[in-house]
Structure 1
Amino acid sequence: MTSITYREPTVSDAHQIWELVKNNKPLDENSKYLYVLLCHQFSKTCCVAESDSKIVGFLSGFIPPKNPDTLFVWQAAVNNDFRNMGIAKELVSHTLCNVDSPIEFVHATVTPSNHASLKFLQNFADNIGAKLNKKPLFSTDVLGGGHEPEDLVVIGPIQKNILEVTN
Structure 2
Amino acid sequence: MPRDLPLEATNDQRETRQLLLRKPRPDDGPAIWELVRACKPLDENSLYCNLVQAEHFADTCVLAERGDEVVGWISGHMIPNEDALFVWQVAVGPKARGLGLGRRMLQHLLRREECAGAARLHTTITRDNEASWALFRSLARHLGGHLRSRPHYTRDTHFGGRHATEHMVTIPLPRAYARPKAA
Question: What's the TM-score once normalised by structure 1's chain length?
Answer: 0.92
Structure that is richer in strand per residue: 2
> What percentage of residue pairs aligned between the two structures are identical?
34
In structure 2, what is the Cα distance between the partners aligned to 1:72 and 1:155? 11
Larger radius of gyration: 2
Residues 143 and 173, structure 2, Cα contact 8 Å, conserved in 1: no
1:147 and 2:156 aligned: no
SS of structure 2 residue aligned to 1:134:
strand
CA RMSD after TM alignment: 1.4
Q: CA offset at residue 161 of structure 1?
A: 5.6
In structure 1, what is the Cα distance between the partners aligned to 2:106 and 2:92? 12
Q: Which runs of 5+ in 1 are unaligned?
A: 163-167
Structure 1 residue ranges, 4+ long, deviating more than 6 angstroms after superposition: none
Could you report, residue by residue, the CA deviation over 1:24-66 in whole angstroms, capped at 9, with x for unpaired residues? 1100001000011001100000000110121100000001113
C-alpha spacing 1:161/1:149, structure 2 compared with 1 (3 Å): closer
- Report the residue type matching 2:77 in the other structure: F
- Report the residue type matching 2:130 in the other structure: H
1:80 and 2:94 aligned: yes
C-alpha spacing 1:32/1:145, structure 2 compared with 1 (3 Å): farther
Q: CA offset at residue 140 of structure 1?
A: 0.5
SS of structure 1 residue aligned to 2:147:
strand
Question: What's the TM-score once normalised by structure 2's chain length?
Answer: 0.84
Could you report, residue by residue, the CA deviation over 1:102-127 in whole angstroms, capped at 9, with x for unpaired residues? 21111000001111100110011001
Aligned position for 2:70:
55
- State how many pairs are aligned: 161
Residues 45 and 99, structure 1, Cα contact 8 Å, conserved in 2: no
- Report the residue type matching 2:89 in the other structure: Q
